[in-house]
Structure 1
């Protein structure tokens, strides 16, 4: 008897019955009528099973008391209760009902309830996540629409700006082309005018000389020539007295040309030739060579012209050459520096060692070439004169005339190209030049790029 009671307590049938009642109460208003009836039938069936177990226990307890054990209690409590109309359905609970089957059914109901609750909770979470996702998608769609509108607006504006910019570029290109054509035409006219002026000056000098010769032949005594200004008052040895001062000043000016003016010219050239440092250095060196050559040619022409004029009237104690040099030193303003600059640029344009982009020309170096021509003219007016050393590519490096540049190969015996010429007084080096030495210099020399016109 006690063992059967213990099993009944462990199964928890009454607890399961109470849980189902509470669950039915919570879901009563949610369930349909059929679901509520099914719940009621389920509870009645479970209650019948519990009552069957209780009647079995009652039978066992009564049998333990003998034939008349518990009769009074049954008469006082059970019979009045039965007479009130309650009767347990004997068919619902059979005598061989197992307590284990009831416990299994209770566990299955509990598991089903838990699974249903978990499923409903997952469903709620999924619905919540779905709603959040829909809200995010709606926000992204709104943002995408706004971005698309901004992109369309920007595209329309950029299209209009691009069209205006293209029109402006076309107009500017046309203006640039016209300006280049005009500049080329003006440059040609300026060159022609310079040539005409030079020819006119030569013709006037020749006419003046012929007039002076004719006057001397007609009058029998020499007269001063009108085209040349008379010598300024002063010592006839003015050139010799100022020679040392002019020499030291020209040497200093030559050094300044290398350290200051050359650097500025290099900076200007690198804007248009950014990827060829050797060509930039070659252009500067060739410009210096051509400028000195133009200055020497102009000095020789001036010297011949002055000698021819002074030969008629010279009677002083100094020699004719001294008088000619003194006259040139006193009248340095007669040097046509602009003509020398134009001669230098024309010589650079046909030099096969250098080239320049087609859209610009060597007039960019006009200030630098002008100062080099002035220096070359002054060096020619010294006694003895100063000059720059001749230079050729792939010549043997001479430490007395040149110093190596920073990017040279210091063991190379040949000069690849020159950076700055040396100043010479006959065979004596006054100021060293600079050169770049490389091995196989005669093989690595670059061929000049053709200049487009």
Structure 2
């Protein structure tokens, strides 16, 4: 029986019957009457075959149940159905009603299937939403953990920011001091504007003087020319003849004013820039100011030495070919004034940096070089070299820490104690012309300057810089320490 039932299920006879019935229903209004009858007969034959297979299965099933198995079912269901089907009396249920019941049953089955499918889809959607909700919950938990971590980090940063705020306050105070210094520099520049008109008048007078001198020189040159140089050499000099001034003598006043103005600009501009650069690496503001002062003093010393050496070379070169009314000294100075660009300023800058590297008063980070302030050193060497060509030459005033404050040479810095009589340290040197102060310097006065100076000396017995010196620098440094103070001062000059 099981094999017959499996064959009946695999052949899909009812599905084929349903398909043929639907095809007939669709083509009913198109096909002819004979074709419709043929399809109806075909369906009847197919139904009879299916009924024959079902009766065969019924027979096998009842035989498998034994002699008395299934008797009640056959009596209550099969025999009454057979009696009503083959009876000539008309059944109580019409064919239309039976078809309607079959359609209702099919419709209910379809609705049940649809409801089952919709229920399955809704369950799938709910499961999808549940999984997405679980993912969102996990994400929210992760966000909560991250928020907790950020809160802890914010707490730690707030504590760090509180400490950093104090550093910012100190930095703002330093910036305020720098702003005060710039304000003082601008005030000095404003005061220097009043001197420009006086310089313009001097330049105009010098131009008129030069024009007159030029005419006189042309006239004198025309009178002094002769066809042969021998009579001119043998002619006795006239007692009324005076030496003609050189270019250096004629432009002395204008160069003097220009160099003094440039010296003031170095204080107001280049010094402030160098100070800002050093403050990035050195926290001690006093040490920064001392480094700049030592750089200026060493630049003047190096430039003066370079000027003397350059002048000796020029005199030696001109001695064999020089002739004229002016002296050899004046001719050498005039040549230097006309050829200031021949001065090897880079060699002087290197000399200043080498001198600062062995200075025991300077405390400087070993990973940074003094080339940071090479711009200030370069310009100061040029100005100092040009100042030596003036008559008389300009120089820096001698200054030492702990000296008695002189109001004629210096002005006090903004952070000084104005009642203190002694100088703690100098910020900018004074410019001198002989014994006359041309430009005032700047100094810091504090009470107890002598005690602070002695303490700094005791701490500076060994150089505080940890930078290793080259063998040449060590040799120069040891040789300078072995000299007496007079010879050491002469070597610097």
Q: TM-score, normalised by structure 2?
A: 0.45
Q: What TM-score do you get using the length of structure 1 for normalisation? A: 0.49
